Each structure stands twice: as structure tokens, then as C-alpha cells.
Amino acid sequence: MTAATARRATPRAGLVLDMRTAGQSGDGPRVAVVSDTHVPRFAKHLPCAIERLVAQRPTHVLHCGDVTELGALAPLIELAPFDAVAGNNDGPELVERYGRRKIVEIAGTRIGLVHGDGTRGTTRDRALAAFARDAVNIIAFGHSHVPSCTRQGGLWIVNPGSPTDKRREPQYSFAMLGWSGGTCVPRLVFFS
């Protein structure tokens, strides 16, 4: 599978990306995780966020939902192989195209993607419950716009926050997943 083929893979099923082309400098993949872009409601477009993402040189981009407009994904899709899930503010076209929950595998790491909206428990609890029966290494979710990166046992739980709507947070944010020695380590990236 080439990077171009990976981009065309059926998003709803989740991507299994070919790592022969992912880590351009041989240091492993660099996965940008974003959520809650809400374009055009909270931002007309993503220029500042895209500049920050480009600087991280991602080999893949994942979106945890609340895109709100399919056309807003173009800059992210052009940046690197892309996959997403739909959020509660996304219409039927985005739900049909990406689904509401999926597992994406990159470099042997299984990443559960879900938006995290619902009525029971906290957003984090709902994200954890969405993958309670699945073997995943990372759960990435959004909805709250509150960036967090925690570890529970061997599981990373990552909310990238939002690159366009920080709400009460002091800065905009997204997450980066990087691999070192075959192990994935997430981190948050903040900007003003």
C-alpha cells in the first residue's frame, strides 16, 4: 500500500498505513491528532493551525470529530494520509463518510478514535467505554475542547483540545503521536 493508496482507503473501516513510506527520515511516524475544528462556525479556515501542523512534519493526520463542513478538511487531507470520525455537530455526509467510531492502526499501534459526546458520564468516560471491548493502545477523543494526555495502565488517553476554539483554555492545541524505539508517546502542542 502506498501513501496515496492509504489516503484512498475506505475511511470508515479505519486505515492500516504502510510504514515503509510513513517515517520520511527513518525516525518513525509522526501523527497529528486534531479535534473540534468547527469550521466555519469558530474559524473561517485553518491557516494558523495548518502552519503549526506543517511545522511538526506529520506523516499522518487524524481528526476526532466536529469538523462541521466536509470542505474544511481539504488542507488536512492534503497534508498527509488522513482519517477521521464524525462528532455530534457533523452532518450525515461526514457521518456516512467517516463513521462515529473506529480503530486506526499505525506502526503496530492501535488508536481508537471517537468524538466522545453523549449523556452518560464524562467525555473521557464515554471515550473509554467506546473501546472497553477492544484491544487499543491509545484512545483519542474530543468534544470537551479540553486538552489532556494521560496514561491509565498501558493505555494512553488523549484529547487534543481544539486548534480553532480554545473555549476557556489559555491556548489552542492539538496532539502529536511520535514513536521512539517502537513505542508510541503522545504529547500536546499548544499555540496562541
pLDDT score at 42? 57
Rounded CA gap, 126 and 177, in Å? 22
What pLDDT sits at residue 119? 94
Alpha helices in the chain (DSSP H): 3-8, 47-55, 74-79, 92-98, 123-130
Report pLDDT for 60. 97
The average pLDDT across 163-167 equals: 88
Q: Higher pLDDT residue, 15 or 69? A: 69
For the stretch 43-84, pLDDT in tens is 555 667 888 899 999 999 999 999 988 888 888 999 999 999
Pairwise CA distance, residues 17 & 104, whole Å:
9
For residue 100, how many C-alpha atoms fall within 13 Å in the half-sphere facing its CB?
13
* Domains, the chain, with CATH or none: 3-191 (3.60.21.10)
